[in-house]
Structure 1
Amino acid sequence: MYILLALIAAVAIGVGVHFALPHRERRGVALAPSIAGAAAAVAYGLCTWTGLGEANIWTWVISLVAAAVVGVAGTAAITRSRAARDEATARRLGLV
């Protein structure tokens, strides 16, 4: 049940990442929260499988830091890729 709280916090971090990073018009509003939520779920699962309890503070810290770091890195990478692809398509179609 605690994993649900960690995932809600991770999705909230993802919403913050969405609004903190530039070029919001190039990505969907659910991209950053889903990346952050997935990263937190994997981190939380790995922490519990390695023996850290769900009440252990390190499980929470690792999960939420992973959500923030992977959320920022993943969202930035996808946004850069999208911008490059859009620019290449515009050049190919002669719009630029």
Structure 2
Amino acid sequence: MQILIAFIIGAVIGIGIHFQLHQRLTRGVVLAPMIGAVSAGLVWTILTWAGVGIDTPWPWLAALIVPIVVTYPAIILISRLRVAHDSNEKARLKIG
């Protein structure tokens, strides 16, 4: 059941990253929290299957660090790709 805490931690970190970064209107509001939640849950699952218990600090630290390391660059990349795609489409359609 502690994996739910990892999912919640990842989602909260994703929400913070979503509102911290620019170009919020180019991506959905749920994208960053989902990336954060999935990455935190995945690392928690991997560590649990590897035999690392919840009585050690490693799953808890991983649930805090991995969503930051994964979500921050992913959202920056997705935002840049969306802005570039939108500008190419505007140029192709000769609007704006």
- Equivalent-residue separation in structure 2 for 1:39 and 1:75 (angstroms): 13
Asked whether 1:66 is paired with 2:80, we answer no
Gaps of at least 5 residues in structure 1 are: none
CA deviation string 1:31-62 (max 9, x = no partner): 10000011111111111111111232111111
Please provide the CA RMSD for this pair. 1.0
CA deviation string 1:66-90 (max 9, x = no partner): 1111111111111111111101000
TM-score where L is the length of structure 2: 0.94
Gaps of at least 5 residues in structure 2 are: none
Return structure 1 stretches of 4+ with deviation > 4 angstroms.
none
1:31 paired residue number: 31
- Equivalent-residue separation in structure 1 for 2:6 and 2:44 (angstroms): 8
> How many correspondences in the alignment?
96
TM-score where L is the length of structure 1: 0.94
